Structure 1
Amino acid sequence: MADWKSAFDELVAVRGPALRGYAYLLAGDAPTAADLVQEALVRVFGRLRVGSDVQQLEGYVRRAILNLYVDDRRREKRWRETRHLLVDPDPPGEDLVTTNAVRQALSDLSPKQRACVVLRYYEDLTVPEIADQLGCAEGTVKRHLADARSRLAAQLGVTEESVQ
């Protein structure tokens, strides 16, 4: 069996649920999360030089998931801005329960804001670590987090003092 095959099997068996959970928090729905994980695995293991260290491979896959999510959101935004004007927007739904309200509020954030929120509050990364992950300045991460907290608080009807 090839070295990459055993590393792949171990990564999927040991860290697969964590990778799917990470992708789910970014994407907000299970099918999209599964697609993100699958595409990230293909991209990482499609390279000729893949190591066998599972922790390092997991980091590569997580980064690929994040990049794919941000790229997809950008593409989706461009599509919404350019699609034909006669296409009806999604029909309004019934009153949402708290989980759906939070999911909707998260989906209204920009891709970078949502990525910052997930990395900060789910992955428990520090601001410098988030800046390193996203390839931007620490001040930019702080701005994204502050804007995201403000938008989430406004949409969910929560005061920011109770959130922090």
Structure 2
Amino acid sequence: MTAVALRGGVGVATRDRVDVEAAVREVYDVHYGRLAGWTARLVGDHDLAHDLATEAFLKLFRDFARVDDPRAWLYTVTANLVRDHWRKRGREALAYNRHEGGRDDFTPDPDLATTLTVRDAVLELPDRLRVVVLLHYFADLPVATVARQLEKSEGTVKRDLFDARQRMAKTLGGLR
């Protein structure tokens, strides 16, 4: 049944859609710029970042009735979109390396001390740790909000953050 049939009125669905559009517009006006900037820092590409942030807002528009905390929800959805992007890039790189693997013009990898960044250390984390780090440290969401968004306990999120810091310390610690 449609919203009009359920509420027994004509025009109720149109009014609800306008209400959702206004609510999403308000959230957009407040959070889009920061979300797009956060995403750009993660992916290193402003155009792609805007595409991902826009996609997150489209999903928010579609699912708005089920969203309790739009800001946290947007950062979680965007983190997942970024993770999907990184996975795709990883698959593309593997395919490229397989194709180009027989080349004779091999050049050694650059020195890690000059190229490794915190972003790279975060990218090396397993997905379960990476998302927690992105939401807590990069999106500045409190542990309780991250736990709620990821449907984990606060203790699990704290442990994941601890594990992530330990792994990143090992990765970055070798550069002294």
Q: Which runs of 5+ in 1 are unaligned?
A: 159-164
Instruction: For structure 2, list consecutive stretches of 5 or more residues without a partner in the other structure.
Output: 1-14, 102-107
1:57 and 2:78 are equivalent in the alignment: no
Q: Is the 8 A contact 2:72 2:149 kept in 1?
A: no
Trace 1:3-152 onto structure 2 (pairs within 5 A): 3-27=19-43, 29-47=45-63, 50=64, 56-74=69-87, 79=91, 83=95, 85-88=98-101, 92-93=109-110, 101-122=117-138, 123-126=140-143, 128-152=144-168
**TM-superposed deviation, 1:125:** 1.2
Partner of 2:6: none
How far residue 72 of structure 1 moved from its aligned partner, in angstroms, is 4.1
Counterpart contact for 2:73–2:149, Cα < 8 Å: no
The letter of the residue matching 1:86 is H
Q: State the TM-score, normalizing by the size of structure 2.
A: 0.61
Q: Secondary structure at the match of 1:20?
A: helix
**What residue number does 1:162 align with?**
none
| Cα pair 2:147 2:154 within 8 Å, conserved | yes
Other structure's SS at 1:46 match:
helix
**1:104–1:67 Cα change, 3 Å:** closer
User: Helix, strand or coil: the match of 1:115?
Assistant: helix
The 1:28–1:134 alpha-carbon spacing in structure 2 relative to 1, beyond 3 Å, is: farther
Q: What SS class does the counterpart of residue 132 from structure 1 fall into?
A: helix
When the two structures are aligned, how many residues end up with a matched partner? 152
Measure, in 1, the Cα distance between the counterparts of 2:161 and 2:44.
18
Sequence identity percentage? 31
> Judging changes above 3 Å, is the alpha-carbon distance between structure 1 residues 142 and 8 closer, same or farther for their aligned structure 2 residues?
closer
After superposition, give the CA deviation of every residue in 1:13-67 in whole Å (9 maximum; x if it has no partner): 32212212333455454344322211111112135xx46x9x9433432232133
Is the partner of 2:76 in helix, strand or coil?
helix
Q: CA separation in 2, counterparts of 1:5 and 1:130?
A: 26
TM-score (norm 1): 0.65
RMSD: 3.9
Q: Which has the larger radius of gyration?
A: 2
